[in-house]
A and B are shown apart, each in its own frame.
Chain A
Amino acid sequence: MHELSVCQELVMQVEQIARENQARVSSITVRIGPLSGVEPALVEQAYPLAVAGTCLSAARLVIDSIPVRVHCRSCKQDTIAAPNRMLCAECGDWRTDLLSGDELLLASVELSRDPIAEVSIQ
């Protein structure tokens, strides 16, 4: 439900990177886990609204969906789990620790430094 504000924060962070590097941004990669509380499909919908009228309006959004992975305290195995069934896939024990799946990250940006971009920034 708060995906638009997440996208607005994304725009602020990437605009700053573009300014610091004096470059144009051609694509933005975010990493979202199912336990982040943010829905990738809604981020995709909110993204065009957040970038409209900014220097990122032509930047492509790439969403890296990260699966839930858990470490079992009992059998020590690392396995893939569902967000609402985080049991060890190996032995079925519920005493697991989350390894990944709660990420909500700006992973990377692709910058382009073609001559046109240099001109448009200066």
Chain B
Amino acid sequence: MCQMCGCSLPAAENHSATSHPPHDDGHEQLTVLTNLLARNDEAAAHNRAHLDMHGVLAINFMSSPGAGKTSLLEATIRRLRTQYRISVVEGDLATENDAQRIRAQGVPAIQITTGNACHLDASMLHGALHDIRLADVDLLFIENVGNLVCPASFDLGQHRNVVLLSVPEGDDKPEKYPVMFRAAELVLITKSELLEHIPEFDVQRARGSLQKIASAVPVLELSARREIGMDAWIDWLHAEKRANDRRFAAREQVIHEHAHALGVAAEARTGAD
């Protein structure tokens, strides 16, 4: 039986063609297989191309509301602002509060207010990127809307996803929100200064919860407020920035060689004339 529509054509005929032959009743089954987030993914690829053109490393921060994304950004900016040119895009349903906190650290911040939308998407980030001079940026931090569900499904064009899990939230969040935590390329257990007051949170159990969703993501513990455990996080950022710089340099080299080869070919043509 046909696997596509349940008609009685032999299977071999169905799998070889994208269009199913019309049935006697004039119906035709057309196989499509396109991603339903294709439009967002195209916009995200466009954003990534913008960022890569200028060698900007973009990090997308996701977590529940109140897990400490803005506090972590403030502490990170304090540590890195003399070494890198940093810009921040803030996503919230309403208010400029977070952008103002970032600007107080002396770096530019663009606030996206999503209204009732529960996540940032690639077109929203694209709008914000046009307000940033990417040639003057080394690191772009994107603070997504606080939500452990929807932001995970929308690629923005970032290079890395960092997911925060704060101690008061509980150590079983990864298995409760598998889509979000499987998207993480680094998990930060934040507000670690509260570990001694909240014995219910066991760091080993949090790691075990990540293993249940088959994630081998690196996990760091830190307290942005007390500046505990920040070194490992800053080292991770430096390593990611160096890796991105190498990718950028390799790309520039290819463009240069390509331009050079085109130039030589043009000269050869001129010589032949």
Contacts and interface: CB of A to CB of B under 8 A. Distances in A.
Chains A and B bind each other: yes
Interface of A: 1-2, 6, 9-10, 12-13, 17, 21, 23, 26, 30, 35-38, 70, 83-87, 94-98, 102, 104-114
Interface string B1-35: 00011000000000000000010011111111111
Interface in B159-214: 175-176, 178-179, 182, 211-214
A113 B118 CA distance: 40
Contacts of A106: 32-36
Contact of A112 (B26, B37, B150): B26
B27 A112 contact: yes
B39 interface: yes
B150 A1 contact: yes
A85 B212 CA distance: 5
A109 B30 contact: yes
A73 to B, nearest CB: 10
B175 to A, nearest CB: 4
A13 B38 CA distance: 10
A6 B179 contact: no
A112 B214 CA distance: 44
Contact of B32 (A2, A37, A70, A109): A109
Nearest to A86: B214
7 contacts: A9-B37, A17-B30, A83-B179, A86-B212, A104-B153, A107-B32, A108-B5
Main secondary structure, interface of A, reads: mixed
Interface in B104-127: 117-119
A95 B182 CA distance: 13
B149 interface: yes
B212 A9 contact: no
Interface residues of B, number: 37
A120 to B, nearest CB: 14
A110 B178 CA distance: 33
Contacts of B147: 1
Given A38-B153, A112-B25, 19 more contacts: A1-B147, A17-B30, A37-B179, A83-B213, A84-B175, A84-B176, A84-B212, A86-B178, A87-B212, A94-B212, A95-B214, A105-B35, A106-B33, A108-B5, A108-B32, A110-B27, A112-B26, A113-B22, A113-B26
Contacts of A1: 118, 147, 149-150
A114 B212 contact: no
Contact of A70 (B4, B22, B214): B214
